[in-house]
Amino acid sequence: METTFTKTIELFPKHTKELLPVTFSVPPGTSLIGIRFRYSPMEVDDLELARNLIEDKLQSYARECAKTDLIPPAVAEYWQERLDPERFLPLRNLLNFSLYDPEGSFIGRWDSPQYFDKWMTIGRETSRGFLVRPLLPGQWTLELEVHALLSEKVVATLDFSLDVCTEKRWFAGEMHTHTNNSDGKASLAEVIDKAGEKGLDFLVLSDHNTTAAYPDIPKEGSPLIIPGLEWTTFHGHSVAVGIKEYIDWRTAGRGDDLSLKIEEIRRQGGLFSVAHPFVIGDPLCTGCEWEYSNLDPAYIDTLEIWSGSWREGAVFNWRAIAWWNQLLEQGFRITGVAARDMHRLSQFDLDDAANTYVRAFNCTQPEILAGLKRGDVQVSLGPLLLVTLRADGKEYSLGDTVPISKGKEIVLEIDCDSLPEDGLLQVIADGEKVYEKRTDGKSSWKIQLEAVQRWCRVQVHRDNPTFAPIVITNCIYFADSPE
């Protein structure tokens, strides 16, 4: 959907040498911002005024030149012969602007005449003079630079065009990726090529304790690369997702609550993800097992509940899911994610390693991070569930909070047209299995829920020795409705 609007600003000579902010709102789902800028008159239309201004300036400049004897006489004579005011006509009213996102980050600068009365864009197509950056939703600032206003009045016109996606869709990603900048076997470019072949939309770059691959991140193209690092300590691993700069890990002793480190991640706009918490640790995998018992779970944004191959990691993945359930029961809203912990390109070909699917307006870093934080997420081998909860005449989906009141009917609707016939579909509510049916090729279910207190989610498993999952959704949450 395209949204257009215009802002008109009247300017006067008193505004010369000022910076004038013009704000505009960018909604979630915006993939392109177009701006067209013009002002009138561009040239000073009062020629007599212009000549007088030029004459005054040339005379004052000549007087300054006469105060020095360092100018060779021939140069002074040559310059005097060229002091014709007509040479400097027409005089221009001169305006430019710079652009800043809601965080105050510089996005670029409009410099006439190359863009005068022409559209420039940022987003999926970015014009010269502007930086390739995510289009953060919120209030943007266009700062008019008033360099010279010589006419009695100048009218500036700003036309805006925003391409906004109003429908969310699912984007597939890998949450934990290594390159040969740490102990991965492939370069970032090779990882990107392989991920693209597998249809992934985004990757979280998470080399061990280094940001060395950041300069290799492409500014444009697919899949989207979200910068991060695997914070690899002596007592557990975690992924800082979406950070901008290195964060030192060395002061994190086993008894540390990690609050200062996690606050730094959040200051950089990132998320804190606990990695493979129940992988067998020392001495088999040094430092891999999560031992930070003093961590406040409120700091955890995402948790790896399906790490790597399910066949290889069924036990520690089930333990991760059990811990996730426990934390959810304690009232912590933590998003469960999948992660291959990708070190070799062949891991993209594993048939029992899941993708993390995030529902968002578009595949940009702010949108993906917002979806992860909210919990609009499924982990899956491919099939995706459409989960809709109906209560009090309203619809809710993953990540939503449902206000409930006693006696109200709550109906959970589940749709999927690509589940295997040997699957077991389960609804988990408040840590308990409240519904189970074989899929048997069926594509939709309607389930009435009773007495749900905190949350519910849906999962589909195969009936095999490891009870291997096909898809696990995140939660729909519940809160008491005010009477």
The reported pTM is: 0.82
> What is d(CA 354, CA 51) in angstroms, rounded to the nearest whole number?
73
Across the range 215-232, mean pLDDT stands at: 93
CATH number for the region 167-381 comes to: 3.20.20.140
pLDDT digits (tens, 9 = 90+) for 28-55: 889 899 999 999 998 887 777 777 787 7
| pLDDT classification of 481: cutoffs 50, 70, 90 | low
pLDDT of residue 407: 62
The CATH topology of domain 2-43+92-164 is Jelly Rolls (2.60.120)
Decide: helix, strand or coil at residue 328.
helix
Q: Take residue 83 and report the two structure tokens written for it.
A: 């002091």
Say whether pLDDT at 267 is over 80. Answer: yes
Asked whether residue 165 carries a pLDDT value surpassing 80, the answer given is yes
Q: Tell me which of 3.30.930.10, 2.60.40.10, 2.60.120.10, 3.40.50.2000 is the CATH number of domain 383-483.
A: 2.60.40.10
Q: Respond yes or no on whether the N-terminal peptide bond of residue 283 is cis (omega within 30° of 0).
A: yes
- Residue 197, both tokens: 């072949």
Enter the DSSP assignment of 84: -
The pLDDT mean for the chain works out to 91
**From CA 27, how far away is CA 51, in angstroms rounded?**
48
Mean pLDDT of 410-428: 91
For 425-473, the pLDDT digits (tens) are: 999 999 999 999 999 877 899 999 987 889 999 999 998 777 899 999 9
Q: What are the extents of the domains in the chain? A: 2-43+92-164, 47-88, 167-381, 383-483
How many alpha carbons fall within 13 Å on the CB side of residue 67?
6
pLDDT for res 358: 98
DSSP 359-388: EESSSSHHHHHHHHHHT-EEEESS---EEE
Q: What is the largest CA-CA distance in the chain?
A: 100
Would the CA dihedral through 373, 376, 377, 382 be positive or negative? negative
Confidence (pLDDT) at 435: 94
Question: Residue 55 belongs to what H/E stretch?
Answer: helix 47-66
